[in-house]
Amino acid sequence: MALTDSEVLLLMGPPGAGKGTQASKLARARKLTKLSTGDMLRDHVARGTELGKEAKAIMDAGELVSDDIIVGMVRSAIEGRDTEGVRVLLDGFPRTPGQADALEELLQAFDASLSAAVLLEVNEDELVSRLLQRAQEQGRSDDNEDTIRTRMRVYKEQTQPLIDYYQGRGKLRKVDGLGSVEDVFARITEVLS
Ligand code: B4P
C-alpha cells in the first residue's frame, strides 16, 4: 500500500460536542473517508442485524458498546477500502483506552499512523441543551435527560483518559467547540494547518 498520502484524523469530545457535525465537513474538505462508529451502530440497529440488536439496548442506556464489537467494525471498514494509503476521519472512535490501543495496532498493520486527535471542548450546560434540542428535532432514542446524564458520566470515566493518552504522544489539538458551526470548523482547520 502506498503510504505517502495517508492521513488519519480523529475527532473526540463529549456527547453533543459536534463531532458528527464537524466530521462531515472535515471529511469533505480533506477528502477523507468518514468512519463514524455511532452512525455504523445506528445503521445496524435500523437494519435489525444481530449486532444492531445487541447494541441498541446499550446505546439507549447511554453506555458504551463493547470494545470487541467496535474494533471489529472499524477494522472491517478500514480493510474494506480499496485505496492507496489510509485516508480516514474517525468520528467518535476510539472512546476507551482499549480502543485506542487497538487503533494503534490496526494502523501499524497498514503502515500508517495517527496524524492528529482533535478534541472539541464544550461546557456541560451547552451539551445538554444541544442534545435536548436534537431530541425535539430528530427523536433519537438516546437523547433524553437520563441517558444524556449517563453518557456524560461514561465520557468522563472512560473517554477522558484518552486526552492524556494523545497529549502524551504529541497528537492532541484542542479546539473551542462553542460558537457557530462555521467558526468551529475554521478553528479546526487552523489547528490542522
Ligand atoms: P455518537 O453517534 O458518537 O453520538 P454523540 O457523541 O452523542 O454525538 P456528537 O458529538 O457526534 O454530536 P453531534 O455532532 O451530532 O454516539 C452515540 C452512541 O453510540 C454512544 O452513546 C455509544 O453508546 C455508541 N458508540 C458510538 N461510538 C462508540 C465507540 N467507539 N465505543 C463504544 N460505543 C460507541 O452534535 C449534537 C447536536 O449539536 C446536533 O443536534 C448538532 O446539530 C448540534 N450542534 C453541533 N455543532 C453545533 C454548534 N456549533 N452550535 C450549536 N449546535 C451544534
28, 53, 134, 149: the catalytic one is 134
Question: What is the residue-wise DSSP string for 111-174?
Answer: T----EEEEEE--HHHHHHHHHHHHHHH--TT-SHHHHHHHHHHIIIIITHHHHHHHHTT-EEE
User: DSSP code of 67?
Assistant: H
Domain boundaries, the chain: 7-192
pTM above 0.75, yes or no: yes
Fold of the 7-192 domain: Rossmann fold (3.40.50)
Least confident of 95-99, 106-110, 116-120, 159-163: 106-110
The minimum-distance atom of ligand 1 relative to the CA of 37 is 27
pLDDT at position 83, please?
61
Contact yes or no for 176/184 (Cβ under 8 A): yes
Residue nearest atom 23 in ligand 1 by C-alpha distance: 59
* Whether the predicted pLDDT of 189 surpasses 50: yes
- Any residues with Cβ below 6 Å from ligand 1, and which? 13, 15-21, 37-38, 41, 58-59, 62, 64-65, 70, 92-93, 95, 99, 130, 134, 142, 151, 180-181, 184
Residue 95 annotated to the active site: yes
Most distant CA pair in the chain, distance: 47
CA distance 13 to 91: 10
* Whether the predicted pLDDT of 176 surpasses 80: yes
Phi, psi of 102, rounded to the nearest 5 degrees: -65, -40
* Whether the predicted pLDDT of 1 surpasses 80: no
56, 87, 151, 187: the catalytic one is 151
Contact yes or no for 34/113 (Cβ under 8 A): no
CA distance 179 to 177: 7
**Mean pLDDT for the stretch of residues 79-107:** 89
Give, for ligand 1, the residue of 10, 12, 21, 96 to mutate: max count of ligand atoms closer than 8 Å to Cβ.
21
Contact yes or no for 90/74 (Cβ under 8 A): yes
Give, for ligand 1, the residue of 41, 124, 145 to mutate: max count of ligand atoms closer than 8 Å to Cβ.
41
Mean of the per-residue pLDDT values of the chain: 93
Residue nearest atom 16 in ligand 1 by C-alpha distance: 38
**Mean pLDDT for the stretch of residues 63-85:** 86
> Could you count the other beta carbons within 10 Å of the beta carbon of residue 163?
16
Residue 151 annotated to the active site: yes
Residue 19 annotated to the active site: yes
Contact yes or no for 123/41 (Cβ under 8 A): no
CA distance 92 to 186: 20
For cell 475554521, what's the residue? 186
CA distance 125 to 91: 22
